[in-house]
Structure 1
């Protein structure tokens, strides 16, 4: 996301969206407040990862989903849904190594 967005909104814009997304997640989900306190500075994904690995799997997945959704929604309010979708298409597309969610028989 950083690589896709920095040319459009700048590094400071990406960091601001990230921090705002974390803040909103913690505000809307009180159980995530401790995560916010640990990762509120800058675009430090290593700090985010170190906090998430300390959570149980359910909380880590929940926070990740809420954070990405919030980030996407904030970006959409700034640059519109069409441009957001185009810029982040590669982020949302499944990896080629992922197993298809539904296999079809020949």
Structure 2
């Protein structure tokens, strides 16, 4: 989802703006959940989504899902604080829609 968020927001707030929101979101997640701090401290240096994906894959599924959800929620809340909830929701509507719709169903041979 962060790849889609990055692609959606970069033309509007620029790559540095998206990266700054991402880093701030990480910092806030780690400060409110100290158990995340040790595991994810290496992510704060840059918006490296490959590294995030790799670290999440090393965690227990429950922990990875909880951290991912918290990170996305924090990112959205920061964005909403800056530009308002309505605009943030409109900007990310396609991202949420693509995520919630899931992959396209496969045709099954009959």
Question: What interval of TM-score do these two structures reach, taking the shorter chain for normalisation?
Answer: 0.7 to 0.9
**Of Structure 1 and Structure 2, which has the larger fraction of its residues in helix?**
2
* Residue 39 of structure 1 pairs with residue 56 of structure 2: no
Alignment match of 1:97 (pick from 78, 86, 103): 103
Picking from 17, 26, 29, the partner of 2:30 is 26
State the TM-score, normalizing by the size of structure 2: 0.84
Aligned-partner Cα distance in 2 for 1:24–1:88: 21
Q: SS state of the match for residue 75, structure 1?
A: helix
Contact 2:56 2:64 in 1 (8 A): yes
Q: CA deviation at 1:22?
A: 0.4
Deviates more, 1:50-59 or 1:87-96: 87-96
For structure 1, the 5+ residue unaligned runs are 100-106
Other-structure match for 2:56: 52
**Post-superposition, which runs of at least 4 consecutive aligned residues in structure 1 deviate over 4 A?**
none
Quote the RMSD (CA, aligned, Å): 1.5
Task: Give 5+ residue unaligned stretches, structure 2.
Answer: 106-110
